[in-house]
Amino acid sequence: METWDAIRARRAIRDYDTTPIVEEDLNRILEAARRSPSSKNDQRWAFVLIQDRGQLEKISHVWRGAAHIANARAAVGLVAPSSDEPRVDASINYDLGQAAMSMMIAAADLGIGSRTASVHDQELAADVLSLPEDWRLAWLLGFGYPADRPLQPIKSPDRRPFDDVVHHDRW
Ligand SMILES: Cc1cc2nc3c(=O)[nH]c(=O)nc-3n(C[C@H](O)[C@H](O)[C@H](O)COP(=O)(O)O)c2cc1C
């Protein structure tokens, strides 16, 4: 897919079919994360690829909105150091958001669907993923081929109108 098509085709996928994602494609998705920009190039992150069905099931309980992770073909846990400083946390979360979007676009380019899951239960996350002390599971991304229909550019996305969100020179 062209980049512009991949951007327009990406949509949050909750139901995945059973087609496996080949290792080469998973590595490309992870490489997209690794190449993402970060504040001062600090790269305060780690990416945990989860493919084991038991692990996917367990980690899907970190938040009730993470149920789709249980039937994903693979998931990536975006892991980051914990910080008591809101400014540092905000900066890390911005970086993680960029890494997440890079992965989702790289996946869409391959026809692979994805969906973010928030994480609430940090104790469970640390236990399931054996995280080092003072690291947290910030987000999960589920990946798999869409069960409903293949990804293709969406003509009218469910978004606020262009003129409502775009301002020129000043608000
Ligand atoms: C920061 C963030 C957190 C999200 N958390 C969840 C979640 O916990 N569970 C879920 O099913 N979807 C989650 N989503 C997916 C959004 O609900 C979805 O992207 C949004 O409704 C827009 O739909 P679209 O991606 O198909 O355009 C999250 C998305 C973002 C960006």
> Would you tell me how many other CB atoms lie within 10 Å of the CB of residue 121?
15
Record the tokens describing residue 60, joined without a space: 């899907």
18-58 confidence digits (pLDDT tens): 999 999 999 999 999 999 999 999 999 999 999 999 999 99
For all residues of the chain together, what is the average pLDDT?
Answer: 97
Instruction: Provide the pLDDT confidence category of residue 11 given band limits of 50, 70 and 90.
Output: very high
Residue 127 Cα, ligand 1 centroid: separation in angstroms? 24
Instruction: Provide the pLDDT confidence category of residue 59 given band limits of 50, 70 and 90.
Output: very high
Determine which residue's CA is closest to atom 14 belonging to ligand 1. 116
Q: Count H helices, E strands: the chain? A: 6, 4
Q: Indicate if the pLDDT at residue 167 is higher than 90.
A: yes
Testing ligand 1's pocket by substitution, the residue of 115, 119, 159 carrying the most ligand atoms inside 8 A of its CB is 115
Contact 109, 6 (CB under 8 A): yes
Burial class (CB in 10 A: 0-12, 13-18, 19+), 86: exposed
pTM, rounded to two decimals:
0.97
Record the tokens describing residue 4, joined without a space: 């512009």
